[in-house]
Amino acid sequence: MDWEFDNERPIYFQLAELIKIKIISGEYKAGQKVEPVRELANKASVNPNTMQKALQELERENLLFSKRTSGRYITEDINIINNMREDIAKQKITDFYNSMKKLGFSKTETLEIIEKLLREME
Amino acid sequence: MDWEFDNERPIYFQLAELIKIKIISGEYKAGQKVEPVRELANKASVNPNTMQKALQELERENLLFSKRTSGRYITEDINIINNMREDIAKQKITDFYNSMKKLGFSKTETLEIIEKLLREME
Amino acid sequence: MDWEFDNERPIYFQLAELIKIKIISGEYKAGQKVEPVRELANKASVNPNTMQKALQELERENLLFSKRTSGRYITEDINIINNMREDIAKQKITDFYNSMKKLGFSKTETLEIIEKLLREME
Amino acid sequence: MDWEFDNERPIYFQLAELIKIKIISGEYKAGQKVEPVRELANKASVNPNTMQKALQELERENLLFSKRTSGRYITEDINIINNMREDIAKQKITDFYNSMKKLGFSKTETLEIIEKLLREME
DNA sequence: GTGGTCTAGACCACT
DNA sequence: GTGGTCTAGACCACG
């Protein structure tokens, strides 16, 4: 895994993002049990409280739920996961398009060049 | 302007990037004279030496050239600028596509969703 | 049943309250024989002594009476039960109204909103 | 003030509730500055982190917002406060009505007795 | 001085 | 052993 953080944003936030990606990409599957807080914290070399905060953030977004004494689980509601996937994709596309605009690419040009490039890539 | 830096990469490097964008986007035009180092350093609130290093970097890439006694100028060779534009765009597209792959989007899906989204954007 | 206790008030007191409710609501009927202490204690998972104390409290309030050899019975005096019902209702209403006052509801507002809400409820 | 907690629910939760009441009742007015976390924590005799958690909970519900270096403020949106007031009132009424049902009071009876009692109260 | 974040270490209920 | 809560104490950015 790639537990590396920058100093610009809170660690708990970056942790939440990374785990979100794992859920969305399917590395963590719907309904699956998540490793215990303390174990995750250990792997990421952060304090358990920090990891706890990250996971609670994801619970608030309904991507996780916890059963008191048995552990945490990925949501079984695939819609929630798919919506999150769409939202994040939209954000990435918007950011990408804005950076292309700064380079002077129009909407049409952007589409053309990305199509061309992706076609070329293996 | 947006002279804001992160702590991850050298400031001179980030400065060079920002100026590069200005050249590529046409904000600084081919052949145009560039403001004196000290003035630029002042605007960006950085040490003149740092700005100097940034401009030297751009000279190394032939985007700028300096005339001994009269100052620095943007290259008059539009091909260089266009190539640079293409290079940076390619980089951005590659980064973008990699982040979409992490979300589990295939090449085709990525193209579909970006087309759809850009079409929706006014 | 809902034999759950908080740690703020003596358990025998909470037991007495719960049984009181059962009498008032008619779940235990006037004149009816009450189950043996040990059985009740068992159901509620409390020590028989605690249950004993609860029942004695109810006898003190004349809701129960015991016949030496045959066991405990609910009072046959319906007035006692009805008065108790009124008393408890008054207490609940007072508590409720006080909490509404804390929210800034006047007497009139409280009446209006409760009428409206109860009307809406199926 | 009345900073007293029971052991049944998390302290941060009870803190949030108490402050919510103060906002709803108008003791804290819309747009008003809130005392610093550390001061509030001091008054309530809890750890600043606990008070922080309570306040963040209220921020999540948009009852508070914080300006980085200047402090926390009550929301200026009176609608949010009024909606919260209605929600809590509804909850209280539902709880109250359920406890009356347990006593065997019908909807109509409940309304009659509360009207009568409130009329009697000074 | 303000809110925000993080760590370390502890205790609790539940099973 | 699990998640949840709480405390104590520290450091940071911002202005």
pTM confidence score:
0.85
Q: Which amino acid is at A46?
A: V
Question: How far is Cα C36 from Cα C48, in angstroms, rounded to an integer?
Answer: 10
Residue C97 tokens read as: 């109204």
Residues of chain B in contact with residue A116, where contact means CB-CB under 8 angstroms, are: none
| Cβ-count burial B59-82 (b if 16+ within 10 Å, e if not) | eeeebbeeeeeeebbbbeeeebbe
Burial of B100 (0-12, 13-18, 19+ CB in 10 A): buried
Q: What is the pLDDT of residues A6-29, one digit of tens each?
A: 888 889 999 999 999 999 999 999
| CB-count burial class (<10 Å; 0-12, 13-18, 19+) for C51 | buried
Is-contact A118 B114, C-beta < 8 A? no
- Statement: residue A69 has pLDDT above 70: yes
A5 touches chain B (CB under 8 A): no
Q: How confident is residue B67, by pLDDT bands cut at 50, 70 and 90? A: confident
Nearest by Cα to A89 from B3, B46, B101 = B101
Which nucleotide is closest, CA of A36 to its C1'?
Answer: F2
Residues C122 and D84: their CA atoms lie apart, in Å, by 23
Average pLDDT over residues A75-97: 93
Is the pLDDT reported for residue A46 higher than 80?
yes
Q: What pLDDT was estimated at residue D2?
A: 66
> In the predicted model, what is the mean pLDDT of residues C98-121?
92
Is there a contact between A76 and A67 (Cβ–Cβ < 8 Å)? no
Q: Report the alpha-carbon distance of residue B32 to residue D82 in Å, rounded.
A: 60
Collapse the DSSP code of B73 into the 3-class scheme (helix H, G, I; strand E, B; otherwise coil) and give the result.
strand
**What is the tens place of the pLDDT at every residue in B79-105?**
999 999 999 999 999 999 999 999 999
Span C54-63, average pLDDT = 92
In D, minimum Cα distance to C9 occurs at D6
The answer to whether A63 and A81 are in contact (CB under 8 A) is yes
CA D35 vs CA D26, D28, D101: distances in Å:
16, 11, 42
Count of other CB atoms within 10 angstroms of residue D38: 11
CB A121 within 8 A of CB A113: no
Q: How many whole angstroms separate alpha carbon A121 and alpha carbon B86?
A: 15
* pLDDT winner (highest mean) among B45-49, B65-69, C84-88: C84-88
Tell whether D78 is within 8 A of chain C (Cβ).
Answer: no
- Cα–Cα distances in angstroms (integers) from residue D110 to residues A36, B69, B108, D106, in the given order: 49, 95, 64, 6
Is the per-residue pLDDT at D1 higher than 60?
A: no
Which residue is the nearest neighbor of F6, CA to C1'?
A: D50
Q: Which two tokens stand for residue C69?
A: 């050899």
Instruction: Write the residue in D104, D113, D118 that is nearest to C26 by C-beta.
Output: D104
C-alpha dihedral, C114 to C116 to C121 to C122, nearest 10° = 140
pLDDT at C43: 83
**Cβ-Cβ contacts under 8 Å for A50 (sequence gap 6 or more):** A11, A12, A15, A41
Tokens of D7: 């052991």
Binned at pLDDT 50, 70 and 90, residue D122 comes out as low
Please state the φ and ψ torsions of residue A71, each to the nearest 5 degrees: 130, -175
Chain F positions with an atom below 7 A of a protein C-beta are: 1-10, 13-15
What pLDDT is attached to residue A96? 94
CA-CA distance, A22 to A3, in Å (whole number)? 12
Residue C122: pLDDT band by 50, 70, 90 thresholds?
low
Q: pLDDT of D38-64, one tens digit each? A: 999 999 999 999 999 999 999 999 999
The pLDDT tens digits of the residues spanning C73-100 come to 999 999 999 999 999 999 999 999 999 9
A 14-73 near B (Cβ less than 8 A): 21, 24-26
Residues of A in contact with B92 (CB under 8 A): 96, 99-100, 103
Residue A1 has pLDDT above 80, yes or no: no
From D34, D26, D96, select the one nearest D59 (Cα to Cα). Answer: D34
pLDDT at D6: 84
